[in-house]
Amino acid sequence: MGSAVAPGLPSCESPSFFGRLGASKRVLSYSDCHSPLFPGDQDLLLAAAYVSDAQYNRNVPFETAPQAVRLYYFYNHWTMQAATYFFICVDLSLALFEEPALFPLPLLATSIAEVLCLTAFFGRLVHFAKVTPQMVFWKDTKNICIMVTIVLTLVDLILYGSLDAVNIRSIRWSRPLRPVFLINFPESRQIRRAFRSIRNTLPDILYVFLLFTFSMLVFSLMALKLFGDRRVHSWQFLHCLPRSNTPRVMPAYDFNWWYSLYFITYVIINTYIFMSVFLAVVYNNYRKHLKNEIRKLAYLKRHKMIEAFNILKVKVGPEFVVEEAQWRRLVRTVAPDMSSGHLELLLRISDEGQTGHVDKMNFLRLADLLNIQVVTINIKRHPLEAWVPRVYQSSASLLVQKVVRHRIFVWVFDVIILINAIFIALDEKNPFVSYAEWLFLSLYVIEILLKLYTYEPRAYFGRKQFWNWFDTLIIITALVATVANTTIQSARKYNSQQILDIVLILRILRLLRVIVTVQRFRVIVTTLINIGPTMLTFGGLVFVVYYAFAIVGMEAFHGKVQFFDPNFTTPDALVCGNPALKGSAFSRGRYCKNNFNDLASSFVVLMELTVVNHVLLLADGFALVTHQAAKLYFILFHIVVVILIVNIFIAFILEAFFVAYSLEKSEVETAIEKKIQELGVGIQEEEVQDGKPTDHVDTKDHGDNKRKALEGLYCRIASKKYRTVDALLQWMFESEIAPEDEGPSLDEILNFSPSDMYPKNPNFENSA
Amino acid sequence: MGSAVAPGLPSCESPSFFGRLGASKRVLSYSDCHSPLFPGDQDLLLAAAYVSDAQYNRNVPFETAPQAVRLYYFYNHWTMQAATYFFICVDLSLALFEEPALFPLPLLATSIAEVLCLTAFFGRLVHFAKVTPQMVFWKDTKNICIMVTIVLTLVDLILYGSLDAVNIRSIRWSRPLRPVFLINFPESRQIRRAFRSIRNTLPDILYVFLLFTFSMLVFSLMALKLFGDRRVHSWQFLHCLPRSNTPRVMPAYDFNWWYSLYFITYVIINTYIFMSVFLAVVYNNYRKHLKNEIRKLAYLKRHKMIEAFNILKVKVGPEFVVEEAQWRRLVRTVAPDMSSGHLELLLRISDEGQTGHVDKMNFLRLADLLNIQVVTINIKRHPLEAWVPRVYQSSASLLVQKVVRHRIFVWVFDVIILINAIFIALDEKNPFVSYAEWLFLSLYVIEILLKLYTYEPRAYFGRKQFWNWFDTLIIITALVATVANTTIQSARKYNSQQILDIVLILRILRLLRVIVTVQRFRVIVTTLINIGPTMLTFGGLVFVVYYAFAIVGMEAFHGKVQFFDPNFTTPDALVCGNPALKGSAFSRGRYCKNNFNDLASSFVVLMELTVVNHVLLLADGFALVTHQAAKLYFILFHIVVVILIVNIFIAFILEAFFVAYSLEKSEVETAIEKKIQELGVGIQEEEVQDGKPTDHVDTKDHGDNKRKALEGLYCRIASKKYRTVDALLQWMFESEIAPEDEGPSLDEILNFSPSDMYPKNPNFENSA
């Protein structure tokens, strides 16, 4: 059952139609409210409807789904999603081929491509309309957005095309709207969420920003009056926009100490204090809305599970339950490729008393149960032990194994890696250094061989043994590359620079290994790796902002600044091909390559503006070649990216670390995980996490009869799955709702607002 | 009873002597654990001992305190504290007069001054030892620190003096230790706390720092190898130390796009991500230790109050109580200048049933009660109404009053101020502009007169009406200065630049008024003003760090770089008087004034290094004139100030805002404040906060008989007092301890650790 990522929450705004539609239609309407964290619950509700249908119409084959459901599945099929993404990519990359182009194509070609894309988007939208109740569809701003953008783009295309036909050059003003397709298609939930974050934060940040502007104006006014006749221009004070302070104003210090003190006060107030206030406001909003969203998701999930239970429930004795057969059919439907051992385990957990049916409480936990990744570990003997038992068990062999398992073995290789690092820094032309590299390589190979000798190879290369894979791949690649290079060198007497570069990067990557052996480092690295995927969301967000700004920049500044080869020293090259830049800091600093002449250049310029601080230098430069208003473009970009996005990014990282720290000492263990441990089939996560699965298995004897049935199956709970901020928060929230709490009504859930979440009187713990 | 700020917490480590000492000695021992937030409780305990002594020995006059207590009061007397601060200032300012001096004095003079200071410090220490139990004194690291520093300084002085006598120049190595006196004398509790913050954070931050260094090394290594032969030096990568990124590496972008992308990745990882992680770690620690400290203080306070109760308690019926007479005597002792109406009010609150005694629960709240500032507001009629009632009550007069009270009146003046701002920016030589300034001034004067006409003048200039005072003072000063300037101008035909500058600053300050009228701005401004005093703590911290670095810098770099007048264009001036700097970025950028030739210059250089980003430029420059090791000095400074102190500063501001936000919607109202409201003698804070106290008073009729007794006294609760982070957190924590909870034992309280505060399973609310 594919990863049916369904449209975002906003489309759930009107749940009133639920009563009026049929069962499968009702189920589909839920799909809009799908939680991406626990894909299980969505599919479970759908599957429950299936199972229920199959039950009532016993003559209908189980596989025959209603038309709407099939259409829905087709909509969510990966090919359709891939096609959508393909067309989005094509549409966005058109900017590479349109004037000002990196690879020029005739207008006709790009226009046809764009129309094709628009058709595809429209088709996708129609398909979505088919599987969504009308009311929901039309109430969803996303759909309206897409439609409006399609219409606008068509209008623009026709206008531009007809004007071009009569040789009038106009502006393709609809191009900055293209990222709308990327944002508003259901698949980009995370980017939309980041945008929501920004939108929610705007009102609050606006006030701080006004205050900040006011403070800056007061300072500028004062500077203008007090130092105005002493060569300092008030525009220079904008240099101190947060995170863009430059030393350019400081030489003024040469002539006046008071000015220097004044400037320092200015920086402290406007950079440190206001930047902190910005961060506080952004973080506060981020946290508030994140928690609200998570609360919403958690209650929705519970609601859906209750709905699924209601579809399947049967009255047995005093209470409603789901029969074992139904339950099995349901799980089989949701997870067709689950091993039967795994299924038995889940049943054992859900139906503890082996009563032949699953009660409501246990049924509600099914989504969580399905989300627990159970890895079957077969504790097998080492192949060598099977082949040559006498040799493998000899005292020398056992000593080797003991040495390899010892902590010092790891440390020794850490030291070797560090020594290796020093050698990397040395000059590689020295023959001694290149021989040493061979020595290091062989040491690493020996290390891997020894480990393979000691540990069971299939366990060593287990699915979750990331660092073992990493190690081995790096060493093998380095070995192959070094050998290849030596061969080429001896045959053709020259070094291949590419291969050498690869070898070098591999060598440096090897250093990463040292980090993982230190526990304290691992916490930080793990958190960073866990939030890695979400950090990519910010990549998407930044891409959207960059794209819009790049298109606008290309329209405004295209061709104004030219880059010449540095060896080319005509007067034109010195002023970046524009006489207006003569003597400016822009041309003196050789910033000519910072131009908007094509999409790639524009992106690089915007990226630079984000991370380094010459925003005002460029603003000055481009204001010279076009108009003073050009400065606005750069200031606006700085505000959007540096004040808003960077702060949200920091807020996100802070939140991730705070959650990680608050969980550091507590045990992340749900009731379900506990039960698996109780059944005696769990392997402690820690033992495996070390990168070296040991043979030791939790063999406490309680529940021995139960274990018999599950012989051969050892479950490793992939509890790392919970270690993303969202999932952790959701887990925490769920563990706080009482199991019998059915939560508020769907209407209420969908209208949760962040402000009614906080208690009237905040308490000491959560206050700060 | 003066503000007896007593030594910090560490001296409370051994409470075991309590049992063995007498009552007053016991009380004194507590004084070390004094909470600076609620000065009441300390004095209360002392006063309880007094009152109790007076009770048992009726023939001893009440005022005769035991010798130890008198010595203790003398120790805490403001003259002694002022003297200590004076000597600390003298000691620290010696650096101005010692070589390399700003104002050179002979060695003998500075040595004598230093010995004098040391004697004073020693005397203060001896005095402290007299009033502190021996065990506590010797266990306190502060005292040991001071003693060791005194001895080291003396040794250094003698060594340096004798070497100087035989003309051997050595180093005064003890000088960087001088801030020890500032930190370790009991009066600098806040600075010590910030230092504790740093110390607590160090272990955690060390790991992040190692990881950061590692990541930087990997990037540098890669850059060295990949771009090394293309003119990029790996040292340049240090340019990207957090918050110090410069565009200096970017011109390299001219020749390689890959390099540019590589550089951007580097900045994103090492600046944004690592800086956020640093902030997360620092903030997490800051919060943890802050809460622990506050928990400690809250329990200590309760402990002291219980102790005081136990001293005074009398058994009445089934329970212990404090008699009304004793209670009155106690309050009179603690607050001799309290009005009798105020005292009656407190008694009414504490002894609600008018039973003639105060029970334990109410007694424990006494410190809080005393901390509530009760302002007696006499609702008087306007003087004009008393003098010329008919005129003042005429319809025209009433209309004027109505207009002035109207919201639009405020808005009109806000608009006028904004128009004024535009005029300030215009050229003041234009006669039209200077006439306009007269117009504005008269408008402001009219505004103040109108307000004084409408509001009761004594209420308008009430104690808490900050903005009214601000307004009036600024306008009057501006009026006087403008008139004075005009007089001078017409008499002597020239403008006094000083007066013009003052007038200008006053005019700009007037703009601040606009902010206060917008509610949303006020929240931010109020929070910033509230944390202002604590921000000064960071000033102290930074001063200490600067001082130590400045002294070291002066020893190392003194005279290496010279500053010449900019008009002086000898070759020496171009290279800052040091040929080693020829052609360096340091001399090219005219950084010659960035030298360590005296204390003032050093401070300015270090301040600049904090706020602007030429740390590596200076490091390079000073490495040229001295030794490569000089770079270490600058890097170390950057790490200490920018990574540690700036992050703690940001953490502090974040915390302040989070507390402010979490309280925004809740009502900060303690049980006591509620009771005052119940008694019907409270004026709502909001009504007064507006800057315009209204005549409306809460006249709900419940408790009318009680009110009769308190006639004429209206209490405004200075609830703003609670609006500092510490006080707010303590208030929150106290409201969570049950009133009957006696808290853990003193031993436990003093050994609270931040780690045992967090619950095993963090909950959703406080997790992040």
How close A657 gets to chain B, by Cα (Å)? 6
Whether residue A247 and residue B612 make contact (CB cut-off 8 A), yes or no, is: yes
| Residues of chain A positioned with their CB less than 8 A from the CB of B768 | 287, 655, 658-659, 662, 725, 729
Nearest C-alpha in B relative to A656: B768
Name which of B452, B372, B453 is nearest B461 in CA terms. Answer: B452
| Residues of chain B positioned with their CB less than 8 A from the CB of A604 | 253, 257, 260-261
Tell me the mean pLDDT in the region A588-614. Answer: 76
Contact criterion met (CB below 8 Å) for B146 and B185: yes
Rounded Cα distance between B170 and B690, Å, is 63
Q: Which tokens go with A708?
A: 């018999």
Task: Please name the residues in contact with A570: beta carbons below 8 A apart, sequence gap of 6 or more.
Answer: A564
Largest Cα span, chain A = 95
Q: What is chain A's mean pLDDT, rounded?
A: 71
Rounded Cα distance between A52 and A308, Å, is 10
- Interchain contact B590–A (C-beta under 8 A): yes
Predicted confidence at residue A670, as pLDDT, reads 57
pLDDT tens-place string over residues B308-355: 888 788 888 788 888 888 888 888 777 767 777 778 877 887 877 778
Predicted confidence at residue B612, as pLDDT, reads 66
Predicted confidence at residue B614, as pLDDT, reads 67
Could you tell me which residue, A96 or A218, shows the higher pLDDT? Answer: A96
Whether residue B284 and residue A661 make contact (CB cut-off 8 A), yes or no, is: yes
Confidence of residue B155 (pLDDT cuts 50, 70, 90): very high
Predicted confidence at residue A51, as pLDDT, reads 67
- When CB atoms are compared, the residue of A222, A608, A661 closest to B264 is A608
Predicted confidence at residue B119, as pLDDT, reads 93
For A716, phi then psi, to 5°, come to -105, 120
A336-340, B250-254, B273-277: which is most confident: B273-277
Whether residue A277 and residue B528 make contact (CB cut-off 8 A), yes or no, is: yes
Which helix (H) or strand (E) is A109 found in, with range?
helix A107-131
Residue A657, SS3 per DSSP: helix
N-to-C CA span, chain B: 43
Candidate from A102-116, A504-518, B61-75, B546-560 with smallest mean pLDDT? B61-75
Candidate from A705-709, B49-53, B285-289, B299-303 with smallest mean pLDDT? A705-709
How close B640 gets to chain A, by Cα (Å)? 16
pLDDT tens-place string over residues B216-256: 777 777 776 666 544 444 455 554 444 444 444 444 444 46
Rounded Cα distance between B699 and A397, Å, is 93
CA B405 to chain centre: 36
Rounded Cα distance between A99 and B590, Å, is 45
How close A379 gets to chain B, by Cα (Å)? 33
| Cβ under 8 Å to A: B residues 412-441 | 421, 424-425, 428
- Most A CBs within 10 A among B206, B611, B655, B722, hence the mutation to make, goes to B611
CA A121 to chain centre: 25
Could you tell me which residue, A259 or B303, shows the higher pLDDT? Answer: B303
Does B578 have pLDDT greater than 70?
A: yes
Task: Please name the residues in contact with A502: beta carbons below 8 A apart, sequence gap of 6 or more.
Answer: A477, A481
Predicted confidence at residue A43, as pLDDT, reads 60
| Residues of chain A positioned with their CB less than 8 A from the CB of B655 | 768
Predicted confidence at residue B590, as pLDDT, reads 65
Name which of A230, A232, A222, A231 is nearest A270 in CA terms. Answer: A222
Whether residue A225 and residue B424 make contact (CB cut-off 8 A), yes or no, is: yes
Identify residue A154 by its one-letter amino acid code.
L
- When CB atoms are compared, the residue of B226, B653, B736 closest to A763 is B736
Q: Which tokens go with B666?
A: 């809740």
How close A428 gets to chain B, by Cα (Å)? 9
pLDDT tens-place string over residues B93-134: 888 888 777 788 888 888 899 999 999 999 988 888 887 777
- Interchain contact A505–B (C-beta under 8 A): yes
Name which of B108, B191, B188, B117 is nearest B150 in CA terms. Answer: B117
For B592, phi then psi, to 5°, come to -55, -30
Strand partners, A321: A314, A359
Tell me the mean pLDDT in the region B281-305. Answer: 80
How close A256 gets to chain B, by Cα (Å)? 10
Residue A682, SS3 per DSSP: strand
| Residues of chain B positioned with their CB less than 8 A from the CB of A222 | 504-505, 508
Identify residue A54 by its one-letter amino acid code.
A
Whether residue B424 and residue A504 make contact (CB cut-off 8 A), yes or no, is: no
| Cβ under 8 Å to A: B residues 304-333 | none
Predicted confidence at residue A636, as pLDDT, reads 86
B173-177, B468-472, B580-584: which is most confident: B173-177
Rounded Cα distance between A683 and A555, Å, is 61
Does B497 have pLDDT greater than 80?
A: no
- Interchain contact B569–A (C-beta under 8 A): no
- Could you tell me where the beta strands, DSSP code E, fall in B225-275? none
Rounded Cα distance between A708 and A341, Å, is 12
Q: Which tokens go with B463?
A: 């104690």
Whether residue B725 and residue A768 make contact (CB cut-off 8 A), yes or no, is: yes
Predicted confidence at residue A753, as pLDDT, reads 66
Instruction: Give the DSSP letter of residue A747.
Output: H
How close A732 gets to chain B, by Cα (Å)? 5
Q: Which tokens go with B285?
A: 């620690």
Tell me the mean pLDDT in the region A301-324. Answer: 81
For residue A187, count other CB atoms closer than 10 A to its CB: 17
Nearest C-alpha in B relative to A518: B207
Name which of B6, B135, B13, B196 is nearest B748 in CA terms. Answer: B13
Tell me the mean pLDDT in the region A100-110. Answer: 82
Contact criterion met (CB below 8 Å) for A282 and A242: no
How close A174 gets to chain B, by Cα (Å)? 29
Contact criterion met (CB below 8 Å) for B506 and B477: yes
Task: Please name the residues in contact with A53: beta carbons below 8 A apart, sequence gap of 6 or more.
Answer: A23, A24, A60, A66
Rounded Cα distance between B237 and A544, Å, is 29
Whether residue A611 and residue B264 make contact (CB cut-off 8 A), yes or no, is: yes
Q: What is the ipTM of this complex?
A: 0.73
Instruction: Give the DSSP letter of residue A645.
Output: I
Packed helices A671-678 and A340-350: angle between N→C axes, nearest 10 degrees = 110
Confidence of residue B33 (pLDDT cuts 50, 70, 90): very low
Confidence of residue B759 (pLDDT cuts 50, 70, 90): very low
Does B200 have pLDDT greater than 50?
A: yes
Q: Which tokens go with B651?
A: 């953490």
Predicted confidence at residue B756, as pLDDT, reads 57
| A202-231 as b/e: b if 16+ CB within 10 A | eebbebbbebbebbbbbbbbbbbbbbeeee
Tell me the mean pLDDT in the region A182-186. Answer: 75
| Residues of chain B positioned with their CB less than 8 A from the CB of A610 | 264
Rounded Cα distance between A610 and A640, Å, is 10
Whether residue B280 and residue A755 make contact (CB cut-off 8 A), yes or no, is: no
- When CB atoms are compared, the residue of B260, B617, B760 closest to A666 is B760
Strand partners, A315: A320
Strand partners, A319: A316
- Interchain contact A510–B (C-beta under 8 A): no
- Interchain contact B675–A (C-beta under 8 A): no
Confidence of residue B147 (pLDDT cuts 50, 70, 90): very high
Predicted confidence at residue A153, as pLDDT, reads 93
Rounded Cα distance between A551 and A599, Å, is 7
- Interchain contact B760–A (C-beta under 8 A): yes
Contact criterion met (CB below 8 Å) for A507 and B226: no
- Interchain contact A568–B (C-beta under 8 A): no
- When CB atoms are compared, the residue of A511, A755, A764 closest to B218 is A511
| Cβ under 8 Å to A: B residues 610-629 | 610-614, 617
For residue B480, count other CB atoms closer than 10 A to its CB: 13
Task: Return left, alpha or beta for B542; rule: phi > 0 is left, psi -120 to 50 is alpha, else beta.
Answer: alpha
Contact criterion met (CB below 8 Å) for B245 and A612: yes
Nearest C-alpha in B relative to A645: B272
Rounded Cα distance between A205 and A646, Å, is 14
- Interchain contact B646–A (C-beta under 8 A): yes
Identify residue B588 by its one-letter amino acid code.
R
- When CB atoms are compared, the residue of B657, B658, B763 closest to A736 is B763
| Residues of chain A positioned with their CB less than 8 A from the CB of B283 | 654
DSSP assignment string, B549-612: HHHHHHHHHTTTS----TT--SHHHHTTT-GGGTT-HHHHTT-TT---SSHHHHHHHHHHHHHS
Candidate from A421-430, A736-745, B204-213, B263-272 with smallest mean pLDDT? A736-745
How close B548 gets to chain A, by Cα (Å)? 20
Contact criterion met (CB below 8 Å) for B107 and B161: yes
DSSP assignment string, B291-324: HHHHHHHHHHHHHHHHHHHHHH-EEETTEEEEEH
Does A711 have pLDDT greater than 60?
A: no
| Residues of chain A positioned with their CB less than 8 A from the CB of B528 | 273, 277
Predicted confidence at residue B704, as pLDDT, reads 41
Predicted confidence at residue A147, as pLDDT, reads 92
How close A298 gets to chain B, by Cα (Å)? 12
Does A653 have pLDDT greater than 70?
A: yes
Rounded Cα distance between A528 and A660, Å, is 10
- When CB atoms are compared, the residue of B658, B736, B755 closest to A284 is B658
Q: Starting from the edge strand earliest in sequence, which strands make up the sheet with B314-316, in order?
A: B314-316, B319-323, B357-359
Whether residue A424 and residue B250 make contact (CB cut-off 8 A), yes or no, is: no
pLDDT tens-place string over residues A196-212: 777 887 888 888 888 88
Alpha helices, DSSP H only, in B32-133?
A: 39-56, 67-75, 78-97, 107-131
Rounded Cα distance between A384 and A386, Å, is 5
Rounded Cα distance between A652 and A539, Å, is 13
Nearest C-alpha in A relative to B511: A218
Identify residue A14 by its one-letter amino acid code.
S
Contact criterion met (CB below 8 Å) for A515 and A525: yes
| Residues of chain B positioned with their CB less than 8 A from the CB of A424 | 221, 225
For A112, phi then psi, to 5°, come to -60, -45
Packed helices A257-267 and B599-611: angle between N→C axes, nearest 10 degrees = 30
Whether residue A222 and residue B659 make contact (CB cut-off 8 A), yes or no, is: no
Residues in chain A: 768
Q: Which tokens go with A100?
A: 């000002």
